[in-house]
């Protein structure tokens, strides 16, 4: 039988218009073909519901209940009962579900963006950050992050909240935390301010964080480090500060690139490994930031044709 003919038999049986011969053909097909191969004719969810309801009604008409009497099923009626149960399950599991609509928000350089999620949770996106999530959350609230963001999650024990940032996944129930997971960086950090989160990578639990702790995942070394932190410094960007606490100059310049949208170039790659402590107002012009960095370090920072050039002897 062709797929089109099978579809016609299913519809006829659901409508109660199938002849005894067609019912028998449907039984024969049911015993011979894998139920997962049923080619349902329409992808509309309402149509699926109508077909299923008609099939259930047809079964009730075929097998009437008689009060006070034992009712013996003929082999054909037994087969019909089995068929309707299997087909109803197939309608539920194999009918193509409606596609999930996703929202993707991309925050450009030089600004911080606040986002309200469907469940009432609030997210602040740092510069050059992209966040993706379903327009309507189901049982599991799942998000994808490329960049840095601070999350203030609405508590809901029945609907876990998780964020994927590259290889790292953070799962919470209700909490406040920060994730920095730019694809351009070798490190992903998770900083917890309130509540409790479970951090995993490659389907393996890395740690369960308590407040004022941070997990740093090194993508190259495949290693995680957990440490205590100053939570104010961890989310300084949210308050309009470009704050660095012992990061390498390479990491500092990556942050400036994302904020100001201007690439950086080291004349000597060894300069990128020097570590510094510094803080700037994010509203400060790039030229002024570079002048201050020249005063703080033993290097020279110049803006040449929309590229930051870093030169000098380097750190000792």
Q: What is the pLDDT of residues 105-136, one digit of tens each?
A: 999 999 999 999 999 999 999 999 999 999 98
Please state the rounded mean pLDDT for residues 226-239: 95
Question: CA-CA distance, 174 to 163, in Å (whole number)?
Answer: 13
The structural domains of the chain, ordered by start, are 3-94 (no CATH), 102-234 (2.60.120.1440), 240-312 (3.55.50.30)
Note the pLDDT of residue 203.
Answer: 87
3-state secondary structure 200-258: EECCEEEEEECCCEEEEEECCCCEEEEEECCHHHHCHHHHCEEEEEEEEHHHHHHHHHH
Residue 38, pLDDT > 50, answer no
Residue 280, pLDDT > 50, answer yes
pTM passes above 0.75: no
Q: Which of 38-52, 63-77, 104-118 has the highest mean pLDDT?
A: 104-118
Please state the rounded mean pLDDT for residues 235-252: 95
Kindly report the average pLDDT of the chain as a whole number: 82
Look up tokens 């149960």; give the residue: 85
Please state the rounded mean pLDDT for residues 274-279: 94
Note the pLDDT of residue 131.
Answer: 97
Please state the rounded mean pLDDT for residues 82-90: 54
Residues in the chain: 316
Please state the rounded mean pLDDT for residues 224-249: 95
Residue 63, pLDDT > 50, answer no
Note the pLDDT of residue 42.
Answer: 47
Residue 54, pLDDT > 60, answer no
Residue 69, pLDDT > 50, answer no
Note the pLDDT of residue 39.
Answer: 46
Residue of 216 and 138 predicted with greater confidence? 216
Question: CA-CA distance, 213 to 173, in Å (whole number)?
Answer: 17
Angle at 252 between CA 280 and CA 259, to 5 degrees: 65
pLDDT per residue as tens digits for the range 177-203:
999 999 999 999 999 999 999 999 988
DSSP 49: H
Note the pLDDT of residue 97.
Answer: 57
* Residue 247 CB contacts under 8 Å (≥ 6 apart), including other chains: 255, 275, 276
Whether 180 contacts 247, CB under 8 Å: no
Work out the number of other CB atoms within 10 angstroms of the CB of residue 114. Answer: 11
Nearest Cα neighbor of 265 from 277, 273, 257 is: 257
Residue 74, pLDDT > 70, answer no
Cα 178–chain centre separation: 16
Which two tokens mark 234? 């961890």
Residue of 227 and 76 predicted with greater confidence? 227
* Residue 43 CB contacts under 8 Å (≥ 6 apart), including other chains: 95, 96, 98
- Residue 68's pLDDT band, with cuts at 50, 70 and 90, is very low
Distance set, CA 270 to CA 122, 257, 265, 314 (Å): 40, 19, 12, 7
Could you tell me whether strands 264-266 and 308-312 are parallel, antiparallel, or unpaired per DSSP bridges? parallel
Terminal CA-CA length for the chain? 81
Q: Where are the beta strands (DSSP E) in the chain?
A: 102-107, 113-116, 122-125, 129-134, 141-152, 161-165, 168-172, 176-181, 187-194, 197-201, 204-209, 213-218, 223-228, 241-248, 264-266, 275-281, 299-303, 308-312
């Amino acid at each position: 039988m062709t797929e089109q003919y099978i579809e016609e038999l299913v519809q006829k049986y659901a409508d109660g218009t199938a002849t005894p011969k067609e019912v028998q053909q449907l039984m024969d097909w049911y015993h011979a073909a894998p139920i997962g191969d049923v080619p349902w004719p329409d992808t509309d969810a309402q149509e699926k519901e109508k077909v299923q309801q008609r099939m259930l009604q047809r079964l009730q008409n075929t097998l009437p209940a008689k009060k006070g009497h034992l009712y013996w099923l003929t082999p054909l009626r037994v087969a019909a009962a089995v068929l309707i149960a299997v087909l109803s399950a197939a309608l539920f599991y194999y009918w193509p579900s409606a596609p999930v609509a996703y929202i993707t928000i991309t925050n450009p350089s030089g600004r911080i963006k606040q986002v309200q999620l469907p469940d009432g949770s609030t997210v602040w996106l740092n510069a050059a950050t992209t966040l993706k999530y379903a327009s309507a959350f189901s049982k599991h609230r799942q998000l994808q992050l490329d960049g840095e963001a601070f999350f203030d999650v609405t508590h809901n024990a029945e609907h876990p909240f998780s964020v994927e940032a590259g290889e790292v996944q953070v799962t919470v129930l209700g909490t406040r935390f920060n994730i920095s997971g730019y694809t351009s960086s070798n490190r992903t950090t998770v900083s917890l301010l309130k509540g409790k989160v479970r951090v995993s990578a490659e389907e393996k639990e890395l740690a369960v964080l308590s407040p004022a702790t941070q997990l740093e995942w090194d993508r190259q070394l495949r290693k995680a480090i957990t440490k205590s932190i100053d939570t104010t410094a961890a989310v300084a960007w949210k308050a309009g500060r470009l704050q660095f606490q012992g990061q390498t100059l390479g990491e500092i310049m990556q942050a400036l690139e994302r904020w100001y949208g201007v690439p950086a170039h080291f004349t000597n790659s060894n300069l990128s490994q020097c570590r510094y402590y510094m803080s700037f107002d994010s509203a400060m012009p790039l030229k002024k930031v570079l002048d201050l960095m020249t005063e703080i370090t033993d290097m020279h920072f110049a803006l040449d044709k929309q590229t930051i050039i870093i030169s000098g002897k380097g750190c000792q």
